[in-house]
A = this chain, B = another copy of it.
Amino acid sequence: MPEVDETDHRLLRSLREDGRRTYSEMAKEVGLSVAAVKRRVDRMREIGVITGFTAQIDHAKLGWGIEAFTEMRFTGTTGVREIVQTATQLPEVQAVFTIAGDPDALMHLRVRDISHLQQIIDKLRRSGTVTGTKTLMVLGSWTRD
């Protein structure tokens, strides 16, 4: 569906590195005019290749220093929608991945400290049809870009 050529990919890479980069900067990078770059970026937003822009935050500096992944298992009758809805209401849940096989879901959590983590896991366990959890504590992380 989307025709995204090599120039578009270069623009994407540039915007992933710095989402506030100006069109004139990118125009120099790819050797096009400012207007052409804007049209390409606008188009990629329209077709949904670019879904948005966001600020990257150092959560540890805001006092949310603990990061964890929790694997969750549910009863056979539990639907995906319920899983996600339960989790999204907790601000500590950064992301929910539904999984093929075992476990049923993987949740990315951010909390202030260990007792906070325990509290959130307890909430998740109590919320409905959870049959088991296993939590992986993150010691360090690296993310592309």
A residues with CB within 8 A of B = 1-2, 4, 12, 15-20, 47-58, 61-62, 67, 69, 71, 80, 84, 87-88, 91, 93-101, 103, 106, 136-145
In angstroms, Cα B56 to Cα A139, docked, is 26
A96, closest chain B residue (CB) = B142
Q: List 6 extra interface pairs beyond A1-B61, A19-B20, A97-B141, CB under 8 A.
A: A2-B61, A12-B57, A19-B53, A69-B69, A98-B141, A106-B136
Q: Which residue from B17, B54, B67, B140 sits with its C-beta under 8 Å from A16?
A: B54
In angstroms, Cα B100 to Cα A86, docked, is 26
Give the Cβ gap from A59 to chain B, nearest Cβ, in Å.
9
Q: Which residues of B are found within 8 Å of A52, using beta-carbon distances?
A: 18-19, 55-56
Oligomer copy total: 2
Q: Which residues of B are found within 8 Å of A58, using beta-carbon distances?
A: 48-51
Q: Which residue from B50, B80, B106, B137 sits with its C-beta under 8 Å from A57?
A: B50
Give the Cβ gap from A94 to chain B, nearest Cβ, in Å.
5
Question: B56–A96 contact, CB under 8 A?
Answer: no
